[in-house]
Amino acid sequence: MLLLNSSGPKGICYVETKNLDGETNLKHKQAHKTCVELSKSEEDVMNNFNSAVIDCEKENEFLYKFFGTLKIDQYTETIALDVD
């Protein structure tokens, strides 16, 4: 799942992971600032991410290790993706 934005300030959300790791505290996650700017409405999401490409590593057994990239057509830089 890729977090593009949230109703919280600066694209921040909290995720419950107790079914994955047994911990009952909420995990803090934040959308990349570029994704937040490009997804202020549903229309923005459809227009800006329609042809976006996510390139990521294959599935593995590491719950807290992940690396990928997001390429958005109208944005020249590649956005690094990680577990946060």
pLDDT digits over 32-51, tens only? Answer: 999 999 999 999 999 989 98
Residue 26 near residue 14 (C-beta atoms within 8 A):
yes
Task: Say if 3 falls within a structural domain.
Answer: no
Residue 18 pLDDT: 86
- For residue 54, pLDDT over 90 is answered with yes
Q: Which domain holds residue 45?
A: 9-81
Average model confidence (pLDDT) across the chain: 89
Task: Say if 29 falls within a structural domain.
Answer: yes
Task: Say if 2 falls within a structural domain.
Answer: no
Q: How many domains, the chain? A: 1
Task: Say if 4 falls within a structural domain.
Answer: no
- 73 confidence band (pLDDT: 50, 70, 90): confident
Task: Say if 69 falls within a structural domain.
Answer: yes
Task: Say if 44 falls within a structural domain.
Answer: yes
Q: CA separation (Å) from 43 to 49, 50, 59, 64?
A: 10, 10, 31, 32
